[in-house]
Structure 1
């Protein structure tokens, strides 16, 4: 039966494929693909964990047998026996082997996938006693996961991309068929998971939670694949290998579509591909408006290798290198596990050299809220993580770590033009502390005789307080970069990752537009550079407004550059300026913007 689910559209396009579920677990589970040559080793990890859990249960059974009856009731011994039976059950072990060998999942991912399938079988049982055994199965799997955590494999590169299914393919692909597109479905995905999947084979993804500017959504846009977040119960309603359609334009997920619906979306998918091909022809055309205003279109990147996509899309530089993605998946409470100076230097150098002489803006680490270092931090750990120890606040609280990053960035600047961008500044004392540490890092490199380069210094304007003290900022910085994602969040008191209040997240709010406009105007007045690097920069619905407000530097994901360039080429800034002022003066700007 066809089912439609509704969420938030965060990356445009249409994806059609088989569902791959990432199942939630109380134990932190890594999800990655292995190589075909590693299948036996991964099954060996599973076998080792199963044997260890079996021995653990045997020890518990032996200790129970030695206890007095009043200390160890018969039910406890029976329960341990049930756990032993479930541990050896073929439905569990053979199923896990199937996901490892056929889909090349790592053992933990395969185990949670099979748990979800078997658990649903328990839910459908009529007998109450048998139905309640699902909890026992979950406990057994949790024991296995905890055992495997000590034998975790190093992340392997993904297998080669699978051939997409075409209209000429006959019949329906079965389980394990590598000839069909795969679509990821999960309750939520950490930024670290998203980075791993970014290198892989998925045609689209769906999550139960998240907002339009959550980091999961941002990475999805950088992957240029259709995505829907905030689809609430998608991970419960979709089953492994279900055929599903993701409509990234409408924010709709269609499960088990009929042939007619499949044909309709297949046509829509081909139309989108034709539009992308048409935009691709603009990649070498300079971004100049009809009235001769040159516009700088920059790229946002997460990893050094993303510079290749930026150059291909026609970016004239990197306006935002999110350096925190180099730190993802590390143990947050152990600074020795974070990338050292040489590892960071090599990453920044690769990005600089990859841009072939064009400038690279490296933002210092911005962790916290929806970007925990180790993928485990949750909202329960803080009263409000978005207002807590994040971004520059965390860096200043860990000066040794911060100096390592600053030295690495300064060293990379010897290989090409680098701009250094500081996130989430709000106080003059934070500015002074940051500048002092930058100078300290320079002195350390000079003392060691290590080559370094000059950098332009910039600050993010993403807190209303910062937008209201621009003159203080412009005394110390060469340029400003407006981070609209957080600026909207903090101006409107909206958690941008929470789908429950996503309808209140409004880039068109008069207060937000006024802060953006004032920042652009003040920078132009003082002859300082200013760009927008938040999601507004890559949204073609805002291109004309930002141009009318005087913005001449946009930074966005490479996948969005050509669509924005098309709007720039069609724009006349002289005519847009008075209209933009009308939008600013309006009580309902969205009406004039056509939103």
Structure 2
């Protein structure tokens, strides 16, 4: 019987194949007390398990390099995250406490400490960092499998799962570690579906880097789908169709073939300048999390990095902050990786609700409105100056912009200018080499959007962070599943804030970009062009689809229509016309 499951669309396209089920990687863990004299033996078991997992992941990472899989730079980045978490001091020290002080057995101690650390991730408001809890869970489960002598939950395709018939396969799982997924990099997997996850989950990142259709957050898919069922993954709509009728198979087969043709067509415009029909040159930039992400960015024709999220350098370290040299090396690699194209580096967007400031995190009852982003940076001047010095030094190697997140007050604006001047003075006293930078502010707090003319007077450029702007404008927690249906980029108030910000920058002659999900949504491209936007920053996999819309657009004809959309009570209806 045909039925449909809904989730989140994270990687576009259609996949049709037989389901390969991967059971939840959660293992039953024995809970028992050990004698005090057994503590060191239990800790030795844990060290061997950790070392075995590290060796396995390092072999997988080396395999990526050996295979020349440059397009999978994000996979390598996720493996790096897992290696960092495996060596996390907080995780290790906590496990030692449970074994030595409470006399828990190794497995019990490991899962207990995981639950302790996982609570910190649950309190995070940034979806990218919040979903790194899944990475921590996966490295713990990999260690548990080693401790218990259990093999990987992912096995090579065998008889009965489509391998013998040559049918394409679709992976259905509760959740899946990137290291496990890499075991299938030469297989016939056509798509992925997971019960959990969001747009920034590791599964979503892997699916986008592999350029395969994927749906995440499909709830009970792994329980409702049976092994070898025919399934359709609609990565455009976020839908999984199980046991489709012949008519549905034919319909989606046609859509799939059209998708292949479309991707081939998009690939041909990679080197075509992004210029509208009326001659407007549009800047299409990439959002990255790691220096290695410059490779996929350049492969799709990005003309720079519009947002380098530096949070990756700070996470999974048990509260230990990266020093100036470590940050400088990361920023330098990103700058050099873009071969002279500009790189916009956003200062760290973490805070007391993130696992970096454990002493104060419990004081903040509403982390989304607490000491995060620039507020946290200004509250920790030593950390902030370290990052600013590292960015300034990296600017000696190419074009660099500095972007400050979550500014809202004139006092904050003056403080960041003063801190930047202080960082330069410190480098001067050391005789260190550094380069010039342009400085910009993110418009992601409604107050900043309403006071945008204040911002254009103090910054070289602005960048609209639509994800947070929507969240704060509509009072919606965008990671709370119970209210995500109210998260609406086409709400009239949101569009007005975006339109007014763009208009103020155009009037002042200051560059402005959009770096949130709205920038990478090809259905929004014409509207943003009509509002005067000329710079878009997005995930590299979204660039070619947006470029296609740019090449087909005449901004002169879009202006009046865009204003009608913004003024409408129901913008979505006009956008669909």
The alignment's TM-score, normalised by the length of structure 2, stands at 0.71
Contact 1:352 1:359 in 2 (8 A): yes
Partner of 2:424: 442
SS of 2:513's equivalent?
strand
What secondary structure sits across from 2:315 in the alignment? coil
Residue number in structure 2 paired with 1:351: 334
1:173 deviates by: 5.4
The answer as to 2:550 corresponding to 1:550 is no
- Which residue in the other structure is 2:284 paired with? 297
> Contact (CA 8 Å) 2:374, 2:406: kept in 1 or not?
yes
Deviation of the 1:483 alpha carbon: 0.6
Q: Which moved more, 1:234-243 or 1:283-292?
A: 234-243
User: Does the 8 Å CA contact 1:480/1:531 hold for their aligned counterparts?
Assistant: yes
Q: Distance in 1 between matches of 2:184 and 2:159?
A: 25
Q: Deviations over 1:247-289 (max 9, x none)?
A: 2122112457789977875664444233211100001111111
- CA distance, structure 1, for counterparts of residue 474 and residue 12 of structure 2: 26
Report what 1:9 is aligned to: 9
Equivalent position to 1:183, from 171, 192, 209: 171
2:68 alignment counterpart? none
Is the 8 Å Cα contact of residues 328 and 375 (structure 1) preserved in structure 2? Answer: no
Structure 2 Cα separation of the partners of residues 452 and 26 of structure 1: 54
2:455 alignment partner, SS class? helix
Deviations 1:268-325 (A, max 9, x none): 4444233211100001111111111111111111111111111110111111111112
Q: 1:373-392 alignment to 2 at 5 Å?
A: 373=355, 383-392=365-374
Partners of 1:196 and 1:431 in 2: how far apart? 45
State the shift of 1:366 in Å: 1.4
Give the direction of change, closer, same or farther, for the CA distance of 1:314–1:218 in structure 2 (3 Å limit). same
CA distance in 2, matches of 1:541, 1:319: 20
Q: Based on CA coordinates, which of the two structures has the bigger radius of gyration?
A: 1
Cα 1:395–1:449 shift into 2, 3 Å: same
- Aligned counterparts of 1:341 and 1:240: Cα–Cα separation in 2: 51
Q: Give the Å deviation of 1:237.
A: 4.3
- 1:532-571 to 2 correspondences below 5 Å: 532-571=514-553
**What are the residue-to-residue correspondences of 1:15-164 with 2, within 5 Å?**
15=15, 16=17, 18-20=20-22, 23=25, 56-57=33-34, 142-143=108-109, 145=111
Task: Rate the CA distance shift 1:268–1:253 in 2: closer, same or farther, 3 A.
Answer: same
User: What is residue 328 of structure 1 aligned with on the other side?
Assistant: 315
Unaligned runs of 5+ in 1: 28-49, 62-92, 110-138, 154-161
Aligned equivalents of 1:498 and 1:228: distance in 2? 18
Please tell me whether the aligned partners of residues 161 and 169 of structure 2 are also in contact (alpha carbons under 8 angstroms).
no
What is the deviation of 1:9? 2.0
Mapped partners of 2:274, 2:183: distance in 1: 30
User: Quick check: 1:205–1:227 contact (8 Å CA) kept in 2?
Assistant: yes
8 Å contact from structure 1 (residues 21, 240) kept in 2: no
Aligned to 1:575: 557
Q: CA deviation at 1:346?
A: 1.3
Distance 1:26 1:395 in 2: 42
Paired residues of 1:495 and 1:501 also in contact (CA < 8 A):
yes
Please say if residues 422 and 459 of structure 1, whose CA atoms lie closer than 8 Å, have aligned partners that are also in contact. yes
Structure 2 residue aligned with 1:470 = 452
Q: 1:311 to 1:462 in 2, by over 3 A?
A: same
8 Å CA contact 1:244, 1:257 repeated in 2: yes
What is the match of residue 101 of structure 2? none
Q: Secondary structure at the match of 1:499?
A: coil
Mapped to 2, the partners of 1:237 and 1:309 lie a distance apart of: 36
| 1:544 shift after superposition | 0.7
Measured in 1, the distance between the counterparts of 2:277 and 2:141 equals 61
Identify which of 311, 323, 341 aligns with 1:340. Answer: 323
- For 2:328 and 2:184, the matched residues in 1 are separated by 26
Q: Distance in 2 between matches of 1:293 and 1:212?
A: 31
Aligned partners of 1:26 and 1:404: how far apart in 2? 44
Distance in 1 between the 2:428 and 2:536 partners?
35
Question: Aligned equivalents of 2:184 and 2:434: distance in 1?
Answer: 35
Across the two proteins, how many residue pairs are aligned to each other?
Answer: 480
Unaligned stretches of 5+ residues in structure 2:
39-48, 62-78, 83-104, 114-138, 145-153
CA distance 1:446–1:512, change in 2 (3 Å) = same
Query: What's the C-alpha RMSD, in Å, of the aligned pairs?
Result: 4.5
Find the partner of 1:360 among 333, 343, 352: 343
2:259 corresponds to 1:272: yes
Aligned to 2:491: 509
The CA distance in 2 between the partners of 1:328 and 1:219, in whole Å, is 19
Aligned ranges 1:169-318 → 2 under 5 Å:
172=161, 183=171, 185-186=173-174, 201=185, 204-208=191-195, 221=208, 224-234=211-221, 236-237=223-224, 245-254=232-241, 268-318=255-305
2:473 is aligned to: 491
| Farther-moved stretch of structure 1 (251-260 vs 513-522) | 251-260
Asked if the contact 1:301–1:318 (Cα under 8 Å) also holds between the matched residues in 2, the reply is yes
Residue 38 of structure 1 is matched in structure 2 by none
Q: Secondary structure of 1:575's partner?
A: helix
CA distance in 1, matches of 2:383, 2:259: 45
2:415 corresponds to: 433
Residue 586 of structure 1 pairs with residue 568 of structure 2 = yes
**How far apart, CA to CA, are the structure 2 residues paired with 1:348 and 1:10?**
28
Q: TM-score, normalised on structure 1?
A: 0.69
Partner SS for 1:460: strand
